[in-house]
A and B are shown apart, each in its own frame.
Chain A
Amino acid sequence: MSIGSIPFKFKVSIDPDRCMSCGRCVENCSYGVFKKEGDDIRINSRNCVACHRCLAFCPRDAIDIEEKPNDYRSHPLWTREVREAIFNQAKTGKIILAGMGNAKPYPVIFDRLVLDACQVTNPSIDPLREPMELRTYIGKKPSSLKLKQLPDGEVELITKLTPNLQIETPIMIGHMSYGAISLNAQIALAKAVSRIGTFMGTGEGGLHESLYPYQKNMIVQVASGRFGVDINYLERGAAIEIKIGQGAKPGIGGHLPGEKVCADVSCTRMIPEGSDAISPAPHHDIYSIEDLKQLVRGLKEATEWKKPVFVKIAAVHNSAAIAAGIARSSADAVVIDGFRGGTGAAPRVFRDHVGIPVEAAVASVDAKLRQQGIRNEVSIIASGGIRESADVAKIICLGADAVYIGTSALVAMGCRVCGTCYQGNCAWGIATQKPELVRRLDPETNSVQVENLIHGWTLELAELMGAAGINSIESLRGNRDRLRGYMLDEGLMEVLDVKTVGA
């Protein structure tokens, strides 16, 4: 091969003074970096993905992992990533696959927005002393109420409310399918959401029997492959989500390689064992907004209008108009998945170059729905790159009702964001179906970690609201006056409808 080998991504070394040759690194590494030879441990750095499993389980802190040990001649245009992608494609002639979210150094809008707090003219509210309401209802709300005055002075409500999901914190867990992640990972997430009183998505992988006990906290997904969808599945979910697109790969479908379709996955997905699970780019029964309306109403009809139906789209240039169409389709919520959203596997070119940030998309969707007087028709769920409670507060200020988190929840279970989920070798037992790896993830302890994370964020949100003199999350929602842009350009501030710091 004329290109030869390319430099290591990571260089692994073991400090011989600290190492006691216990071999834990050898056992833990699922990528074949370490090999025991007699008393020595041999290292093959080329296989390392920096998932840190060895580091985390080395009892003597003997392992060091260094990123990019060999330099290329630096060049601002011909970066290392660009050159390596060309080497890769020159060798294979294929589409490059990648995992996790967008890896380009685009500026992060969240990090250029700052929140407000009260001083003197109005008091901040102490969440330890005063009630702080984070309860959120996801679903359609009436735009006005029909009431009847009764002779005894009482008022009777004529308007009938449509079903909403009630959550005590505006944080839910997004759709990660059984297949993309392991069953143990799904069970850990399910235990966490059922204890917190929030919801998680099944992804397009069906609902495994062992998740039935948590079904009242599950949102079942109907995507273009229709894997795992039957009436039993629809009826078990608390809500149904139609997935049109995903922030990590807008405009294209999905592909679960046959190797990952084990007996169990084949049962929940309702496909033959070992066959590739291909979700087409569009739904083949949805070629227009009218078709979407039919599916929304069809799913409602099938479940006797008892369940909210969400529609998830990737954040793209025209999200606002698309969301307005969805709001008129009888859907109860629109999920906007930003271009930083994670994924098990996506073509690198899509992951890094297609779609827009969730901050801008949510701001324009909320504004458009208000302009058209249909904001109450749908809830807005934001996802894609929500990393901390401040991001939750900021996206709610920009108009979201609630968020989905994905990567954050995985990180709470040990994920190091190494970005090699598509290899199916996840040493943490998350993005893999290999029984020996899946076993590493204990659903119970991991569920506590996920629960802790959401609980911690919820406490921080309450503190942020109290500091802003707000004791009910409705008053934070769309309250862009409580945000300021720091070093954001004028055009973006106009889209976000925020002022600059100091203004």
Chain B
Amino acid sequence: MPGNVRTPCALAVGVCQKDYYALHVFFDNIRENKTAIDILLEKWGTIVHDEQIKTYEQPNIRKVHTPWRYFFRPDRSLMPKSTTPDEDIVTHLVMKVNAEKNGALIFSSGKNLWVFKAAGWPEDVANFYRIEDYKGYLWLAHNRYPTNTSGWWGGAHPFNLLNWSVVHNGEITSYGTNRRYIESFGYKCTMYTDTEVVAYLVDLLVRKHGLSEKLAVRALAPPFWEEIDRMPPKEQELNRAIRLTYGPALMNGPFAICVANENALVGFTDRIKLRPLVSGESGDRLYISSEEAAIRTIDPDVENITMPKAGEPVIGRVYS
């Protein structure tokens, strides 16, 4: 089970950490693999601080990787043509390191956002990182029954890129199409699993192409042509344009997905809802889960349990 924690200005080391990208890296061997990453990061910016992520031995978890944390400031002047140079540098570094597979894997690359993951039972992984020591206002958690790939640390959810993190239940039958599409924009799928493609698609649609979260979901799980044909002309035109433009981004197969960034949490399912998804509210708190029971375990007083329609997103926004 991985957890995804957002913590404002935690672990002060003389600077406010939320201004820097927190790169979480799994090293296979700290002596063999770390120097190369240090050199690479220094080429593209400044390592403001780095440290080993605190872990606590658990009887059922074999520590096959050493989790490490870098606070990193990209050097914008190195990406002169980009409108989002910081993000492009960090994306480039994540894709490069993960594609090279040289005993290092970046599994968290956001600001004010930390991903924790390992292979093991949920409670063991939580205890391994002492997750209760972290504070956050938006959490994603996931527990997986491994099928296509056996459980390995990098393959645990959430999959993260910049501030986008994704947890997913299901199997994306359109993965081959989605992967080839997203790779034509320079992303590289390296995790041996279909879920990572969702994080990259959301990054492309929202950050690079400027779609709202709602329209991004519309592109990933669009209405059927039959529905589009019945829409009023303007709406029809918009929906047709989305399907024509983003056909290769359409995700097929059974899935329930939660995607989050620092401002919003979005839950949605495939177009015929082959996987369950429920949401519930408690005061100003939103829960989204595959199972109502999971929400009730966390918050017995939850209200407004609803089941969204196929392809329709549940969007929670953070108001400060």
Given the known inter-chain contacts A130-B272, A137-B244, please indicate yes or no for A155 contacting B215, CB distance below 8 A. yes
Chain B, 173-184, contact with A by CB distance < 8 Å: what is the 0/1 string? 111110111011
With beta carbons under 8 angstroms apart, the residue of A145, A469, A474 that contacts B177 is: A474
Q: Which of A456-499 contact B (CB under 8 A)?
A: 468-472, 474-482
Cα-based distance from A371 to B184 in the complex (angstroms): 5
Q: Which of A143-179 contact B (CB under 8 A)?
A: 143-145, 147, 149, 155-157, 159, 161, 164
Given the known inter-chain contacts A122-B171, A147-B210, please indicate yes or no for A469 contacting B176, CB distance below 8 A. no
Of chain B, the residue at the smallest CB distance from A131 is B224
CB distance from B168 to the nearest CB of A (A): 13
Give the residues in chain A near B175, CB-CB below 8 Å.
479, 481
In the complex, whether B162 has a CB less than 8 A from a CB of chain A is no
CB distance from B241 to the nearest CB of A (A): 6
Cα-based distance from A130 to B171 in the complex (angstroms): 18
Of chain A, the residue at the smallest CB distance from B208 is A144
In the complex, whether A391 has a CB less than 8 A from a CB of chain B is no
- Whether the pair A118, B173 counts as a contact (CB closer than 8 A) is yes
Cα-based distance from A135 to B238 in the complex (angstroms): 17
Give the residues in chain B near A143, CB-CB below 8 Å.
245
- Whether the pair B224, A133 counts as a contact (CB closer than 8 A) is yes
Cα-based distance from A475 to B271 in the complex (angstroms): 13
Chain A, 355-381, contact with B by CB distance < 8 Å: what is the 0/1 string? 000000000000000110101100000
In the complex, whether A141 has a CB less than 8 A from a CB of chain B is yes
Chain A, 103-141, contact with B by CB distance < 8 Å: what is the 0/1 string? 000000000000000100111010000110101010001
Cα-based distance from A140 to B98 in the complex (angstroms): 34
Give the residues in chain B near A479, CB-CB below 8 Å.
174-177
Of chain A, the residue at the smallest CB distance from B225 is A135
- Whether the pair B224, A147 counts as a contact (CB closer than 8 A) is no
- Whether the pair A376, B245 counts as a contact (CB closer than 8 A) is yes
- Whether the pair A141, B244 counts as a contact (CB closer than 8 A) is yes
Cα-based distance from A476 to B254 in the complex (angstroms): 15
Chain B, 181-207, contact with A by CB distance < 8 Å: what is the 0/1 string? 101110000000000000000000000
Give the residues in chain A near B174, CB-CB below 8 Å.
470, 474-475, 479
Chain B, 273-297, contact with A by CB distance < 8 Å: what is the 0/1 string? 0100000000000000000000000
- Whether the pair A375, B173 counts as a contact (CB closer than 8 A) is no
Given the known inter-chain contacts A135-B225, A470-B252, please indicate yes or no for A121 contacting B247, CB distance below 8 A. no
In the complex, whether B230 has a CB less than 8 A from a CB of chain A is no
Cα-based distance from A156 to B272 in the complex (angstroms): 27
Given the known inter-chain contacts A474-B177, A474-B250, please indicate yes or no for A121 contacting B147, CB distance below 8 A. yes
Give the residues in chain A near B173, CB-CB below 8 Å.
118, 122, 468-470, 475, 482
CB distance from B232 to the nearest CB of A (A): 11
Cα-based distance from A125 to B5 in the complex (angstroms): 37
With beta carbons under 8 angstroms apart, the residue of A142, A370, A478 that contacts B244 is: A142
Q: Which of A397-438 contact B (CB under 8 A)?
A: 397
Cα-based distance from A131 to B209 in the complex (angstroms): 30
- Whether the pair B245, A478 counts as a contact (CB closer than 8 A) is no
Give the residues in chain A near B47, CB-CB below 8 Å.
none
What DSSP secondary structure best describes chain A's contact surface? loop
In the complex, whether B211 has a CB less than 8 A from a CB of chain A is yes
Give the residues in chain B near A145, CB-CB below 8 Å.
209, 211, 241-242, 245
- Whether the pair B238, A122 counts as a contact (CB closer than 8 A) is no
Give the number of chain B interface residues (Cβ < 8 Å). Answer: 43
Given the known inter-chain contacts A144-B209, A145-B241, please indicate yes or no for A471 contacting B271, CB distance below 8 A. yes
In the complex, whether B100 has a CB less than 8 A from a CB of chain A is no
With beta carbons under 8 angstroms apart, the residue of A161, A370, A476, A478 that contacts B240 is: A161
Give the residues in chain B near A130, CB-CB below 8 Å.
272
- Whether the pair B238, A155 counts as a contact (CB closer than 8 A) is yes
Give the residues in chain A near B176, CB-CB below 8 Å.
397, 478-482
- Whether the pair B177, A478 counts as a contact (CB closer than 8 A) is yes
Of chain B, the residue at the smallest CB distance from A141 is B244
Chain B, 29-61, contact with A by CB distance < 8 Å: what is the 0/1 string? 000000000000000000000000000000000
- Whether the pair A161, B180 counts as a contact (CB closer than 8 A) is no
CB distance from A467 to the nearest CB of B (A): 10
In the complex, whether B303 has a CB less than 8 A from a CB of chain A is no
Give the residues in chain A near B212, CB-CB below 8 Å.
149, 155
Cα-based distance from A397 to B180 in the complex (angstroms): 12
Tell which of B171, B176, B237, B245 has the most Cβ of chain A within 10 Å.
Answer: B176
Given the known inter-chain contacts A147-B215, A161-B244, please indicate yes or no for A373 contacting B184, CB distance below 8 A. yes
- Whether the pair A475, B240 counts as a contact (CB closer than 8 A) is no
Cα-based distance from A167 to B247 in the complex (angstroms): 15
In the complex, whether B8 has a CB less than 8 A from a CB of chain A is no
Give the residues in chain B near A375, CB-CB below 8 Å.
181, 184, 248
Give the residues in chain B near A147, CB-CB below 8 Å.
210-211, 215
- Whether the pair A475, B252 counts as a contact (CB closer than 8 A) is yes
- Whether the pair B248, A477 counts as a contact (CB closer than 8 A) is yes
Give the residues in chain A near B254, CB-CB below 8 Å.
122-123, 469
Cα-based distance from A468 to B148 in the complex (angstroms): 16
In the complex, whether B103 has a CB less than 8 A from a CB of chain A is no
Of chain A, the residue at the smallest CB distance from B173 is A469
Give the residues in chain A near B238, CB-CB below 8 Å.
155, 157
Of chain A, the residue at the smallest CB distance from B145 is A121
- State the B residues within 8 Å of A (CB): 147-148, 170-171, 173-177, 179-181, 183-185, 208-212, 215, 224-226, 234, 237-238, 240-245, 247-248, 250-254, 271-272, 274
The 8 closest A-B pairs by CB, nearest first: A481-B176, A475-B174, A474-B247, A475-B252, A479-B176, A469-B173, A122-B171, A370-B184
A-B contact pairs, 10 of them (CB 8 A): A122-B170, A122-B274, A161-B237, A375-B248, A376-B245, A469-B252, A470-B174, A470-B252, A472-B271, A474-B247
- State the A residues within 8 Å of B (CB): 118, 121-123, 125, 130-131, 133, 135, 137, 141-145, 147, 149, 155-157, 159, 161, 164, 370-371, 373, 375-376, 397, 468-472, 474-482
A141-B245, A373-B185, A471-B252 are known; give 19 further A-B pairs, CB within 8 A.
Answer: A122-B171, A123-B274, A131-B224, A135-B225, A142-B244, A142-B245, A143-B245, A144-B209, A161-B237, A370-B181, A370-B183, A375-B248, A470-B252, A472-B250, A475-B173, A477-B177, A479-B174, A481-B176, A481-B179
